[in-house]
Amino acid sequence: MCPILKLKTHNEEKEIEFELKYLLSLTTRRRFEMMFKKSKEMRELLEKSGHRKTVQLIKRTGSYESEKLDDLGKLHKNYRRV
């Protein structure tokens, strides 16, 4: 559980200081885990709200042959690690 900052008035400097102190208390591994988790959340939200993947956008324009696009799609799925 992360600490909570309570201020009576808005103070951007104290907020930044608090955030940096918290991030510095984390291990590098934990920071990366949090980053990957947030990236996954954002990707899922984008897909849920109807944003298409790059390969689908290229396919729609018809600028490449569909066979080449399928190969690109397979490569994209294989390298997607998040």
The predicted-structure confidence for 36-76, as pLDDT tens digits, reads as follows: 999 999 888 888 887 766 655 555 555 545 555 556 566 55
Q: Domain residues for 67? A: 52-82
Residue 60 shares a structural domain with residue 45: no
Structural domain contains residue 62: yes
Residue 82 shares a structural domain with residue 57: yes
Cα separation of the two ends of the chain: 23
Q: Is 63 helix (H, G, I), strand (E, B) or coil?
A: coil
pLDDT over 70, % of the chain: 60
Query: b or e along 46-55 (b: 16 or more beta carbons within 10 Å of the residue's beta carbon)?
Result: eeeeeeeeeb
Q: Specify the number of domains making up the chain.
A: 2
Mean pLDDT for the chain overall: 77
pLDDT over 90, % of the chain: 39
Say what the pLDDT of residue 82 is. Answer: 46
Residue 57 shares a structural domain with residue 45: no
The structure's pTM equals: 0.49
Residue 33 shares a structural domain with residue 18: yes
Structural domain contains residue 2: no
5 touches 15 (CB < 8 A): yes
Residue 33 shares a structural domain with residue 58: no
